């Protein structure tokens, strides 16, 4: 039976692959797992963090006027030419950062030679590259991410970068204060509340005799007021002025609701009347314009017929001249071919 085991190749590209060996032939078949297609995204994000630790923005991008790559720049195809140039530039800078001298590649250099030089420097660091160099020519993919990640690790090793333990801040403990419990009731508090309730009940008590006297006085006052109203002492001029002043405030305005169907019907009638009135004015202008355009087209058609009739014999002469010219060109080509052939024969005889 075939046995499968999860392995990782030296290049680090086959993350989550399995190998199976056949019974008779002894062949090894490498099968990639479902997460291998997304492994280069993880490698690319790690590469961006390592480049930030190496201060590539200050030392490389600003000096060469380059834009900082995104977190998935070398994982997805966007512009192969630009990506390949960025790959070569980053690789050369990382090799120099790792302590090896490497010339910065130019735009018109041979890409195959540049790739072979980068891979040779990668192997000199003790890293393996068991893939064809043509995989790096596209400028993106898992192999490009792998090469740059290995070079970034070597550069970090060369500068002596190490991770330090995190320093956690010390939190100061606040003194706990015991709140007073308001739920505890003493006997004195209960007595005080009972006395307050008795005083409130005494204030709310109403005498019926006093209430009758108050209602009697109110009735007498209202009757006196009604008798006074019968004899008005108001000036008519002042009354009219007051009415004119208050009249604008007494107008009742009903706000129309746009959702009411009656409002929509009124708007439709208004638009219809406006369209009909505008159509009466514009219809005459449109008819006039139509008549002018039709007359102009008739004139143009008659002029075309007249010009064609006048120039018909000239067109025929032009066609005949074209035919004669084509015949003369054919005879010239034939004669020229004979002259060249005779010239070749003459030169052969002379030599």
Last residue within a domain, chosen from 159, 194, 221 = 159
In a domain, 245, yes or no: no
Q: What is the pLDDT of residue 127?
A: 86
Give the pLDDT score at 290: 93
In a domain, 297, yes or no: yes
Within-domain flag for 73? yes
Q: Final residue of a domain: which of 120, 139, 159?
A: 159
Q: What is the pLDDT of residues 35-49, one digit of tens each?
A: 777 788 888 888 888
Contacts of 104 (CB under 8 A, 6+ apart): 89, 92, 93
Does any domain span residue 246? no
So what's the pLDDT on residue 194? 53
- pLDDT value at position 81? 84
For residue 88, the tally of other CB atoms under 10 A from its CB is 22
* 110 vs 117: CA distance, rounded Å: 11
Distance CA 51, CA 61 (A): 11
* Rounded-to-integer distance, Cα 153 and Cα 145, Å: 12
For the chain, residues with pLDDT lower than 70 are 1-33, 172-212, 216, 219-232, 252-258
Please answer whether residues 80 and 139 qualify as being in contact, where contact means their C-beta atoms are separated by less than 8 angstroms: yes
pLDDT value for 237: 86
pLDDT score, position 27 = 37
Q: What is the pLDDT of residue 10?
A: 38
Q: Is residue 16 part of a domain?
A: no
pLDDT score, position 181: 47
Is 213 a domain residue? no
Select from 110, 142, 159 the last residue of a domain: 159
Number of domains in the chain: 2
- Identify the domain containing residue 137 by its residue range: 37-159
Q: Would you say 25 and 31 are in contact if contact means Cβ atoms under 8 Å apart? A: no
Say which residues have a Cβ less than 8 Å from residue 148's Cβ, sequence separation at least 6.
Answer: 47, 74, 87, 90, 91, 94
Task: Note the pLDDT tens digit of each residue in 276-322.
Answer: 989 988 998 999 999 999 999 999 999 999 998 888 888 889 999 99
Terminal-to-terminal C-alpha distance of the chain: 81
Q: For 73, what's the count of Cα atoms within 13 Å in the CB-facing half-sphere?
A: 18
In a domain, 314, yes or no: yes
The pair phi, psi for residue 344, each rounded to 5°, is -65, -40
Residue 27, in any domain of the structure: no
């Amino acid at each position: 039976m075939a046995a499968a085991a999860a392995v990782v190749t030296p290049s680090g590209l086959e993350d989550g692959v399995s190998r199976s060996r056949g019974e008779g032939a002894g062949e090894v078949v490498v099968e990639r797992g479902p997460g291998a297609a997304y492994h280069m995204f993880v490698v690319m994000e790690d590469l961006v963090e390592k480049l930030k630790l190496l201060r590539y923005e200050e030392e490389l991008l600003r000096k060469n006027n380059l834009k900082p790559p995104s977190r998935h720049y070398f994982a997805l195809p966007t512009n192969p030419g630009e990506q390949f140039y960025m790959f070569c530039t980053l690789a050369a800078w990382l090799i120099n950062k790792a302590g090896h001298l490497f010339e910065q590649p130019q735009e018109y250099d041979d890409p195959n030679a540049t790739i072979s030089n980068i891979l040779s420097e990668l192997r000199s660091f003790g890293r393996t590259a068991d893939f064809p160099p043509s995989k790096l020519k596209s400028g993106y993919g898992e192999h490009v991410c792998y090469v740059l990640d290995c070079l970034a690790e070597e550069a970090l090793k060369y500068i002596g970068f190490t991770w330090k333990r995190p320093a956690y801040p010390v939190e100061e403990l606040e003194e706990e204060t015991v709140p007073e419990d308001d739920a505890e009731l003493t006997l004195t508090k209960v007595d005080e509340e009972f006395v307050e309730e008795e005083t409130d009940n005494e204030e709310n008590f109403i005498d019926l005799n006093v209430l009758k006297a108050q209602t009697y006085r109110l009735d007498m006052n209202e009757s006196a007021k009604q008798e006074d109203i019968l004899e008005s002492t108001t000036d008519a001029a002042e009354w009219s002025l007051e009415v004119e002043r208050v009249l604008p405030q007494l107008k009742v305005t009903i706000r129309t609701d746009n959702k009411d169907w009656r409002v929509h019907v009124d708007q439709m009638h208004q638009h219809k009347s406006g369209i009909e009135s505008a159509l009466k004015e514009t219809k005459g202008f449109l008819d006039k314009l139509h008549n002018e355009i039709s007359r102009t087209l008739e004139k143009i058609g008659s002029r075309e017929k007249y010009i064609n009739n006048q120039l018909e014999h000239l067109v025929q002469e032009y066609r005949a001249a074209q035919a004669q010219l084509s015949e003369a060109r054919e005879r010239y080509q034939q004669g020229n071919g004979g002259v060249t052939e005779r010239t070749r024969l003459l030169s052969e005889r002379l030599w």
